[in-house]
Amino acid sequence: MGTTGTARTAGTTGASGAALGPLSDDRALLGRTSTAERVAEILRTRIAEGHFPPGERLSEDAIGKALGVSRNTLRESFRLLTHERLLVHELNRGVFVRVLAVEDVRDIYRTRRLVECAVVRGLGAPPFDVGGLEEAVEAGELAADEQAWKGVATANIHFHRELVALAGSVRTDELMRGVLAELRLAFHVVDDPRGLHEPYLVRNRQFLEALKSGDGAGAERLLAAYLDDSRDQLIEVYARLVAAGGTATAVRD
C-alpha cells in the first residue's frame, strides 16, 4: 500500500446501489443554486458516514443522475475532493475513494491532537455548551445496543465534529470536516468494528461528563490519551495489513 493511496480493492465496479439510493434523497439539498462545492459537501458527508468505502469506484453517470447535476459540476466536485485527499483519479480507470497508508493515519491523528485538544483548552470558563456532544454520545450508545457498529462509527464522527464546533470557528469546522472524513476511510480497514468502536463509547461518555462538571483540564487529558490510543490501534491494524500483502482491503464498518 503506497502513500499515493491508489485504490486496488475488489469494490471497484461502481458506486453501490445501497449508497446511491440515499444519495438521491440529498438532491433536495442542492436547491436552485447547485454548485460543485455543495455536491462535494454531500459526497464528503457520505464518505464520512461510511456509504462509500475505500477503493469504491465513483460512477459519474450514477451519481450525476442521483443528484441531478451536470457532468462538469460533478467532475469539479471530484477535483475538490481529490485535493482534500478523499478521492484519487486513476488514468483510464476513473475516480476512486482513496485507500489510506500508515503515514496518512499518523498525520490524521497528529492534526486531530493539535486541533481537538486546543479546542478543549480554549473553552474558557464553564459551563460549556455540550448539547451536541450529548446527542452524539446517546446516538452511539443506542446504535451499540442495536449492534449497529456502522452507526456507532457515524455517531463517533459526529461526536468529534460537535467537539470541534465548540470553538465557534468556521475555519476549524471546515478543516476538521475533511480530516474526519479521512478518518472514516481508516475505520473501513478494521475487520473488528466492534473491537474498534465499543471502548470509545465509554470514553466519549467520560469526556462528556468531565466537561459537564466544568473540568476542562481533565477533559483535555482524557482526550489526549483517547486520541493516542486510537491512533496506535489503527496503526497496528495497518501495519498488519502491510505485512500481510501491502494493500488494505476495505471492510464495511
The amino acid at residue 27 is R
Distance CA 85, CA 184 (A): 12
What is the rounded end-to-end Cα distance, in angstroms, of the chain? 20
* Predicted model pTM: 0.76
Q: Specify the range with the lowest mean pLDDT, choosing from 2-11, 108-117, 141-150.
A: 2-11
H-helix or E-strand spanning residue 87: strand 87-90
Rounded percentage of the chain residues whose pLDDT exceeds 90: 60
Distance CA 141, CA 155 (A): 9
Given a cut of 70, is residue 148 above it in pLDDT?
A: yes
Instruction: Specify the length of the chain in residues.
Output: 253
Residues 6+ apart with CB under 8 A from 180: 48, 157, 160, 161
Q: Which residue is it, cell 480507470?
A: 93
| pLDDT value at residue 238 | 82
Given a cut of 60, is residue 8 above it in pLDDT?
A: no
